[in-house]
């Protein structure tokens, strides 16, 4: 009714005094299609914004409101947005050269020309309105309206914040198609815009999306995994000093050979492990660890061992007698590491960590990394996470890796750990450039 009175009286539907909300801005927020169309016919401009974005001109008394297009996007009014973006063809400037070159164009082809809207050729106020609307759409979590704007003007420029927020919005709304399009746009358009102020947020959102893709049925984590892996390989710099080497205790120094392992010759102590006898020598074990010192204080010739398997106990004796680790599977090495911790043999544990780090492969990466998490070993965690990040684009096809990515326990959150590792690599690369 108010609009009828307004239009019937030939009153202005928009003027410079309307700096807060004009009729079309109100109608756009309310989703009143008929009113919006009538106001546009009466001369209302859906791309007019009264907000001053120039910081040098803003004062404490600066007031204004976003364009009707931005208002429609912020309220999630896709039909209104459609009406407004259809007006872009009328805002598309035509030069004399354009006119002459298109003069022979058939009428049926005009729609194709109009539909190819180039952002840089639109009027300044329209470009501002589109960027403003894009910000409001992603900030208010309206993926459909964001996608509408992007489809309408494919070269609509994104800044790092709007891109990251859009991906976060797509993840929140389970909008896989939109997310895939955004990730495809990352290289090279967005990558160059990463800096210290936005990297942590971007990394967090990328891993949140990866987690979602791994959790959902028929998810497609490959695209985001490829982006993450490519970022890591770009920023990562090979460390010339192996942490595993530098933090290892002094090497274990045996005095006899492996031939004395489980050899009754000159044996003065016997263990029973899983029902089988294992022969050893007190002097070798007494010097190996404090745990064996306690066991050997028992004045009897046979000691029952119940905390490790027979194979693991023999492998541990092999190291004590020879200073080398026998050839074992990854699983057996992990069991031997646990035994090394129980029997307090730090050199054995360090040697196993070095071996595990050296044999990391696509086939065992998930198992070794899970082992590092369970034992909360920072050295092996670092090696495992760096390996995962380097090869995430191929490893993500494995169900075990996806299970690790989507796991979220109070003790360890894999996505958060990988995100921190990526952010650290980025910070180091920035310092190297200074």
Residue 29 maps to which CATH number?
1.25.40.20
Name the pairing type of β-strands 269-273 and 302-305.
parallel
| Confidence (pLDDT) at 56 | 53
With a CB cutoff of 8 Å and minimum separation 6, the contacts of 171 are 179, 205, 208, 209, 212
Q: Are strands 276-280 and 302-305 parallel, antiparallel or unpaired?
A: unpaired
197: in domain: no
The answer to whether residue 243 sits within a structural domain is: no
- Give the integer Cα–Cα distance in Å for 279 and 269: 6
152 & 264 share domain? no
What pLDDT, on the 0 to 100 scale, is given for residue 251?
57
Please check whether residue 4 lies inside any domain of the structure. Answer: yes
Return the structure tokens found at 139. 């900030």
Examine residue 129 and state whether it is found in any structural domain, yes or no. yes
Which CATH number does the domain housing residue 322 bear? 3.30.710.10
Do the domain assignments include residue 357? yes
Same domain? 395 vs 271:
yes
pLDDT digits (tens, 9 = 90+) for 84-112: 998 886 655 444 444 444 444 443 443 34
Is residue 46 within 8 A of residue 118, CB to CB? The reply is no
Residue 91: the pLDDT is: 55
pLDDT at 240: 37
Domain limit, last residue, from 123, 157, 191: 157
Tell me the pTM. Answer: 0.82
Those residues of the chain that have pLDDT short of 50 are 1, 5-12, 17-19, 58-61, 93-116, 238-249
Domain boundary among 157, 172, 187: 157
Structure tokens at 14: 């928009």
Q: Are residues 284 and 136 in the same domain?
A: no
Domain check: are 264 and 151 in the same one?
A: no
Q: In this structure, what token pair is assigned to residue 383?
A: 């090696």
Task: Find the radius of gyration of the CA atoms of the chain.
Answer: 34
Domain that holds residue 320: 258-433
List residues bridging with 269 in a β-sheet. 280
DSSP string, 282-293: HHHHHTT-HHHH
Question: Which among 110, 140, 157 is the end of a domain?
Answer: 157
Q: Count of domains in the chain?
A: 2
The whole-number pLDDT of residue 64 equals 76
Dihedral sign of CA atoms 371, 375, 376, 382 in order: negative
Task: Say whether the peptide bond before residue 300 is cis (omega within 30 degrees of 0).
Answer: no
Distance CA 61, CA 328 (A): 75
pLDDT for res 245: 47
């Amino acid at each position: 009714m108010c609009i009828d009175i307004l239009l019937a009286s030939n009153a202005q539907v928009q003027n410079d005094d309307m700096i807060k909300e004009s009729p079309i801005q109100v109608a756009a927020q309310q989703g009143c299609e008929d009113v919006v169309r009538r106001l546009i016919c009466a001369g209302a401009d859906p791309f007019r914004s009264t907000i001053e974005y120039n910081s040098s001109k803003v004062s404490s008394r600066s007031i204004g409101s976003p364009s009707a297009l931005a208002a429609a996007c912020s309220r999630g009014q896709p039909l209104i947005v459609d009406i407004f973006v259809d007006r872009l063809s009328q805002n598309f400037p035509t030069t004399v050269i354009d006119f002459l070159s298109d003069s022979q164009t058939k009428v049926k082809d005009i729609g194709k020309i109009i539909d190819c809207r180039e952002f840089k050729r639109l009027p300044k106020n329209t470009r501002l309105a589109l960027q403003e609307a894009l910000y409001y759409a992603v900030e208010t979590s309206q993926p459909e309206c964001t996608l509408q704007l992007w489809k309408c003007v494919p070269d609509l420029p994104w800044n790092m914040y709007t891109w990251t927020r859009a991906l976060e919005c797509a993840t929140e709304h389970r909008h896989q198609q939109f997310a895939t399009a955004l990730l495809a746009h990352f290289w090279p358009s967005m990558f160059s815009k990463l800096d210290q102020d936005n990297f942590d947020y971007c990394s967090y959102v990328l891993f949140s999306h990866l987690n979602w893709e791994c959790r959902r049925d028929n998810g497609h984590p490959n695209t985001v995994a490829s982006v993450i892996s490519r970022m890591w390989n770009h920023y990562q710099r090979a460390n010339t000093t192996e942490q595993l080497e530098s933090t290892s205790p002094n090497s274990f120094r045996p005095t006899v050979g492996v031939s004395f392992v489980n050899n009754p010759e000159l044996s003065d102590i016997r263990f029973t492990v899983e029902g089988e006898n294992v022969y050893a020598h007190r002097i070798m074990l007494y010097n190996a660890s404090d745990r064996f010192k306690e066991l050997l204080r028992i004045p009897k010739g046979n000691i029952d061992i119940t905390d490790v398997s027979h194979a693991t106990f023999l492998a541990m004796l092999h190291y004590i007698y020879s200073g080398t680790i026998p050839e074992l599977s990854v699983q057996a090495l992990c069991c031997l590491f646990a035994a090394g911790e129980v029997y307090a043999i730090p050199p054995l544990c360090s040697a196993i960590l070095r071996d595990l780090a050296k044999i990391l492969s696509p086939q065992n990466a998930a198992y070794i990394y899970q082992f590092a998490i369970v034992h909360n070993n920072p050295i092996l965690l670092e090696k495992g996470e760096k390996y995962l990040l380097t090869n995430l684009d191929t490893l993500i096809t494995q169900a075990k890796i996806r299970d690790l990515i989507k796991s979220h326990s109070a003790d360890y959150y894999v996505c958060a750990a990988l995100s921190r590792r990526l952010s650290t690599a980025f910070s180091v690369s920035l310092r190297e450039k200074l």
